[in-house]
Structure 1
Amino acid sequence: MVKCYRKTISLSEAWVSSSERLSDFYASSWQRGDSPVPLLVVRLALVTAAIAVLCWSLVEGWNVRWLLFLTNWGLLLVTMMLLSGVLVSFVAVCKTSSVSETSEVPWYVSMYWLLFNIAVSVSLLITALYWILLYDPDMADIEPRMFWLDVATHGINSCLAIAEVVASRTPVRILHFYQPLGVGIWYAVFTAIYYAAGGTDGAGSPFIYAVLDWRYGWRTTALVASSLAGLIVVYAVLWLLALCRDKISLDLIRTVSHDLPIVPDSLSRIV
């Protein structure tokens, strides 16, 4: 569920350690009740597709610099998020007794929630940056196999992340924007250190991405600042998406019964 904040915010609310309902992490928005089975089936399908894309990327593009690229960080993050989501659902299915509702969430739920906040936002930003800054229309004719791999890693990957958002009830707290932002800052600092240490890309150029060339300090700094601002915008969009998801599913699917008298007042007076 999307959280609206009071004036005072506890440390647990700023982190991923507490939530009103544990069932929000293993039940789907599009079901009645809290059975973990429907979302488990969805997550198994999503994680299978994510692993397939990751394996395709490793087979087609593996080299010693594979982990340098933000795209591949996104692949790993989305795959780990979906794997941890499967773990959360599987544990809920395997529990013989009903899952107790508590404000404190188990470690594996915290891990999933953290990965969810980071992976969805970062993967969407990666997709936007690729199609705006890096996409080459001629690649489809020159290297069709690599073109379709790029479509998978910069398109399908984000679709899988969005599907997890829409299918689940995972809470989105606006205060958690610092989590994907921290990863973005970490990658920017990493590229600067890599450049300062004399690192190169596969062609020997002193950068990982041509648009992220630290020889042009002000231009690259402006790009990094714009990207980090874009990451905050993406997280805000994620929050709005979850808000709409919860509103629609609560109104149409997860209807809440109202407290009504067992018999009308007039009849009760007669009795």
Structure 2
Amino acid sequence: MSAIKKYFKEQCQVRMCGLEHANPSEFYLSVWQTNRSATPLFVLRLILFLGSLAIVLASSILYIQSGIYGFWFIYLTHWGLTANVAATGFAALVSARSFFYGPTRTKHQLPWYVMTYWILYNIAAPVAFLITLFYWTVLFEAGVEEELNYGLDVAVHGLNSVVMFVLVVTSAQPTRLLHMYHPLGFSLVFFLFTLFYYLAGGVDVKQNPFVYSVLDWRHAGTTVGVGVLTGFLLVFLYLVTMLLSLGRDAIAKKFVKPSVYVNEELPLRQPTAEQTQTGV
């Protein structure tokens, strides 16, 4: 109990709202590694990025072929898919930077691309879980069809969570409690978008005056209630993501030799003459 109390006491400090971190290597090395090579995670993240990009392209192409591409942008699912592509893309970028140029030489102040990745990671994982859960329970039962192909429907509302689950369990960076405002802010922006979309006379593919039938602003009270309940669900799923990270770290600490996190100042390889001259 004292360990749990200590953990939450540390997590609830105001400084934890920021994006400072003492171990930059945790953003490009996996907890499951026994060496300092950035290659394994770089390759995996590149695969996750290409997979996420392929799903988005497949979905977009079907919408274009059907002549309804403008509607692609109104759905939370597609916002979440875009977050997936951005998160896995920046994850691959962070790993690529270390693969080609060596460790990130910094203390606490992370480079902008690492901080961007961290924010996108905090958003994309719980939002992906929310989309999968919300679609296959509430929206699917309500007859909502966002995709024009059943196989793609499964990929968009299932593989999205698989991709983010793999990204979470193979990473090493922490999931901070107070970073919960990242996914909540993202979901609030979408919620407000549905309101402004309705006020502007927007409709869905079937010409209904809403994005989702459960977010029908003609019944504002019910819509706000659904929004609040969804917010609580997102908080829960963010906590699940945090528990996944803690469980990942605990298991890795027990079974993997702690030889990965060594001196950040030592390069992964000898720099080239050009890199030495330019100071990269």
Identify the TM-score tier after normalising by the shorter chain. Answer: 0.7 to 0.9
Is 1:74 aligned to 2:77, yes or no? no
Is 1:21 aligned to 2:23, yes or no? yes
Aligned pairs for 1:189-200 within 5 A: 189-200=192-203
Quote the RMSD (CA, aligned, Å).
2.4
Aligned pairs for 1:1-271 within 5 A: 5-6=9-10, 9-11=13-15, 13-16=16-19, 18-62=20-64, 63-96=69-102, 98-100=103-105, 102-135=107-140, 146-255=149-258
Q: Distance in 1 between the 2:198 and 2:14 partners? A: 40
User: How many pairs align?
Assistant: 250
Structure 2 spans left out of the alignment, 5+ residues: 1-6, 261-280
Q: Distance in 1 between the 2:45 and 2:242 partners? A: 21
Q: Quick one: structure 1 residues 238 and 201, their matched pair in 2 at CA, closer, same or farther if it must change by over 3 Å?
A: same
TM-score by length of 1: 0.86
After TM superposition, give the deviation of residue 187 of structure 1 in Å: 0.8
Amino acid at match of 1:111: T
Q: Quick one: structure 1 residues 27 and 184, their matched pair in 2 at CA, closer, same or farther if it must change by over 3 Å?
A: same
Residue 263 of structure 1: aligned partner: none
Amino acid at match of 2:207: G
- Stretch of structure 1 that moved more, 192-201 or 222-231: 192-201
Segments of 4+ moved more than 4 angstroms: 136-140
Amino acid at match of 1:128: L
- Is the radius of gyration larger for structure 1 or structure 2? 1
Q: Distance in 2 between the 1:144 and 1:189 partners? A: 23
After TM superposition, give the deviation of residue 154 of structure 1 in Å: 0.5
Structure 1 spans left out of the alignment, 5+ residues: 258-271
Amino acid at match of 2:41: L
Preserved CA contact (<8 Å) 2:202 2:210: yes
Amino acid at match of 2:63: G
Q: Distance in 2 between the 1:237 and 1:138 partners? A: 28
Q: Quick one: structure 1 residues 256 and 28, their matched pair in 2 at CA, closer, same or farther if it must change by over 3 Å?
A: closer
After TM superposition, give the deviation of residue 136 of structure 1 in Å: 5.0
Q: Distance in 2 between the 1:153 and 1:221 partners? A: 26
Identity %: 35
After TM superposition, give the deviation of residue 256 of structure 1 in Å: 6.7
Question: What secondary structure is seen at the aligned counterpart in 2 of 1:111?
Answer: helix
After TM superposition, give the deviation of residue 15 of structure 1 in Å: 2.1
Q: Distance in 2 between the 1:81 and 1:112 partners? A: 6
Preserved CA contact (<8 Å) 1:139 1:147: no
After TM superposition, give the deviation of residue 144 of structure 1 in Å: 10
Question: What secondary structure is seen at the aligned counterpart in 2 of 1:116?
Answer: helix
